[in-house]
Amino acid sequence: MSALTTRSRAFGATVAISAAALLTTGCVSNEPPAEESQGTGETDSGSSSSNDETGDTVVIGFSAPAADHGWMGAITRAALDTAEQYDDVELRQAEATNDVNMQISHIEQFINEGVDAIVLLPFDGDALTEVAMQAMEAGIPVINVDRELSSPFASRATILGDNYGMGVSAGTYICEQLGDNPDAVVAEIQGIANLPLTQDRSQGFADSLADCGLEVSTQVAADFTIQGGETATSNLLQAEPQIDAIWNHDDDQGVGVLAAIENAGRDEFFMVGGAGSLDVMEHIQAGDSVLEATVIYPSTQAADGIKMARLIAQNKNMDDLASAGVPRVTQLYAPVVTADNVDQYMSIGFRS
């Protein structure tokens, strides 16, 4: 089977523009489809913008790492669903891979085919920078997703989650619950400690806690896997006889975190998750575990990339902005999901 499959896809996805301070979950078009509105709490006036009108067909190449993680699988599914509903989008999906050299060869193939745009979630941003620059030099706009490339010349637009903001949101929620207890024991379960994204999350968390006089009492690192989450949490619970709150960076590894908590028979604390898995949202909705909240790290980033690639290739603007063209950098908001608002986010949750 060829590494590339051809599809025609489309759909409405969420975009928040940090450059314009529009940290919301609105669509590129002015009005979201009805089914999207149910998931985000927005209303639908029944009208659509000129951006949604069918234009010249554009061919978009899409490449992402292997879906060996619930969030990554959701990224790819959302991108495919987004492209599927546009009659003027032909999506060419490269075989998902964690092999840097193979991903480079996929981008080279897109360049040789002369696609109109490329949406790229690089397995390694540094390693994919050179081939992304080659695409740009060939006149093919690259929309970079989630993991930044190492040169500003390697992409036309970049769409990012807010790792620092995740930490801030998690810390703010914990401060709201424990801010009147300066002796509270707050634990943090990271993913992979030496990754910049993990360090950003931890820094945001520490900064936010400091605002209410709290600090991280104990910190352990897992590896973004279920097994790693269970092992790290077991060690944490053995070391700390009393805990008031835990922030777990990643809902996928959170499956293991919850298993360790259940095995230990501990429930004196509450927990905040990270990313926004459907499993965690169901726990929050049911109130059947220590999970009280999670912080969204949007799995819609590549879907937004498809929408932006279409606009750029068709020389369109973003309807919700007064400025011309698609923004250079877009950073999505990291809201806190609790029992009070979980129904608004269930539709964008992903299975761990």
Enumerate residue ranges in the chain where pLDDT < 50.
1-47
Q: pLDDT for 76-99, tens place per residue?
A: 999 999 999 999 999 999 999 999
Task: Give me 18's structure tokens.
Answer: 């940090």
**341 in a structural domain:** no
Detail the DSSP E strand segments found in the chain: 4-8, 15-17, 22-26, 58-63, 89-94, 117-120, 142-145, 157-160, 186-190, 216-221, 245-248, 270-275, 291-296, 329-331, 336-337
Count of CB atoms situated within 10 Å of the CB of 322 = 7
**100 in a structural domain:** yes
Whether 135 and 19 map to the same domain: the answer is yes
Whether 274 and 321 map to the same domain: the answer is no
- How many structural domains comprise the chain? 2
Please tell me the predicted confidence (pLDDT) of residue 155: 98
**340 in a structural domain:** no
Nearest partner of 308 among 276, 333, 332, 334, judged by Cα: 332
Whether 157 and 303 map to the same domain: the answer is yes
Whether 141 and 213 map to the same domain: the answer is no
**343 in a structural domain:** no
Whether 171 and 262 map to the same domain: the answer is yes
SS percent in the chain: helix, strand, coil, step 5: 40, 20, 40
Whether 314 and 228 map to the same domain: the answer is no
Whether 104 and 199 map to the same domain: the answer is no
**266 in a structural domain:** yes
**61 in a structural domain:** yes
**344 in a structural domain:** no
Whether 168 and 247 map to the same domain: the answer is yes
**312 in a structural domain:** yes
Sheet of 291-296: strand order equals: 216-221, 186-190, 245-248, 270-275, 291-296, 336-337
Whether 69 and 204 map to the same domain: the answer is no
CATH number, position 92: 3.40.50.2300
Whether 69 and 212 map to the same domain: the answer is no
Detail the DSSP E strand segments found in 204-254: 216-221, 245-248
Please tell me the predicted confidence (pLDDT) of residue 37: 33
Please tell me the predicted confidence (pLDDT) of residue 179: 87
Q: pLDDT for 223-253, tens place per residue?
A: 999 999 999 999 999 999 999 999 999 999 9
- How far apart are alpha carbons 234 and 265 in whole angstroms? 11
Residues of the domain holding 191: 163-296
pTM: 0.83
Please, which residues bridge with residue 220 across strands? Answer: 189
Whether 123 and 134 map to the same domain: the answer is yes
Whether 58 and 153 map to the same domain: the answer is yes
